[in-house]
Amino acid sequence: METDWTLTAHTLSEALPYLQRYAGAVVVVKFGGNAMGDDAAMAEFARDIVLMRQVGVNPVVLHGGGPMINDMLARLGITSDWVRGKRVTDKATVEVVEMVLSGVVNKRIVQAIMDAGGRAVGISGKDDDLLVCEADDPALGFVGRPVEVNVQVLRDLYGAGIIPVVAPVATGRAAGETFNVNGDTAAGAIAGALQADRLLLLTDVAGVRGANGEVLTQISPAEAEALIADGTIAGGMIPKVETALAAVAQGVRAAVILDGRLPHACLLELFTAHGAGSIIRSSEPRVKPAP
């Protein structure tokens, strides 16, 4: 037992340079994947977010909720059409999306953070015009692309010690419509507007893989674009990498596509030299230096 406590103390001591490095930093975390449907994983994620806030980090949580939306649509008997693999979101569907994301998933995450001893407030992109959108593709209906990001409400919340939890539902620029926004896209847009230190995109895979199947722990923007062009990065990983690239281009210091299945993935990425996924940044060294 004494050895276990000594190991814990050693771990905390080793984390000191990283705790100092991220004190006061803004970190945008996109939470999604299988962890959202598992109570134990949700509680672990919430505890890690509260710990980040406790040591001086300003976390902003974005979330998705695709499986929950699918389940509710099925229960209501609402069928969906698909265009190029993407769901057409009509008026009936977007109402369900808003109900599930803002009313169910968002509040579940808020409650988990509160249960872990933190303070959290759940909002959507419609609140205070946080996200204002135009239609991403008219064929897809009410699927939005952010064209304005007004982040003062987030600064007000984390400035008061409150963790913002944001559902990716947005207001339409033209007529105040409600738009569904891809969670990764919303997280990237908000991270860019906040000039965040880190954007963490939690996924159900180990990270971005190279041509030989190896996880690439460090990727420059030019390398990422080349991997997309030659087909090495393909399928569902393309929009995640494109989100990361856009965030870095907007001034985010680094974006990380990390394995959300790993216990304490966010803490591993921020507070250890090991990391937990693939980092995309322009020039900052992978091993974070002591201040």
Q: Please list, residue by residue across 119-136, b when 16 or more beta carbons sit within 10 angstroms of its beta carbon and e when fewer do.
A: ebbbbbbbbebbbbbebb
Distance CA 194, CA 278 (A): 22
Residue 291's pLDDT is 35
Strand order in the sheet with 58-63: 120-124, 163-167, 58-63, 26-31, 198-203, 254-259, 277-280, 218-219
Which residues have C-beta within 8 Å of that of residue 284, sequence separation ≥ 6? 253, 254
pLDDT digits (tens, 9 = 90+) for 200-231: 999 888 889 988 889 999 999 999 999 999 99
Please report the domains of the chain, with CATH numbers, ordered by start residue.
19-280 (3.40.1160.10)
Task: State whether the Cα torsion 200-121-50-151 is positive or negative.
Answer: positive
- Distance of CA 111 to CAs 42, 115, 243, Å? 10, 6, 28
Q: Choose among 285, 283, 274: nearest CA to 11.
A: 274
| Residue 15: predicted pLDDT | 87
- pLDDT at residue 287, as a whole number: 41
Percentage of the chain lying above the pLDDT 90 cut = 68
Highest mean pLDDT among 15-29, 80-94, 273-287: 15-29
Helix/strand/coil for 126: coil
272: tokens are 């250890």
Q: Where do we find the tokens 């974070």? A: 288
90-139 confidence digits (pLDDT tens)? 999 999 999 999 999 999 999 999 999 999 999 999 999 999 999 988 88
| Residue 168: band (very low, low, confident or very high) from pLDDT cuts 50, 70, 90 | very high
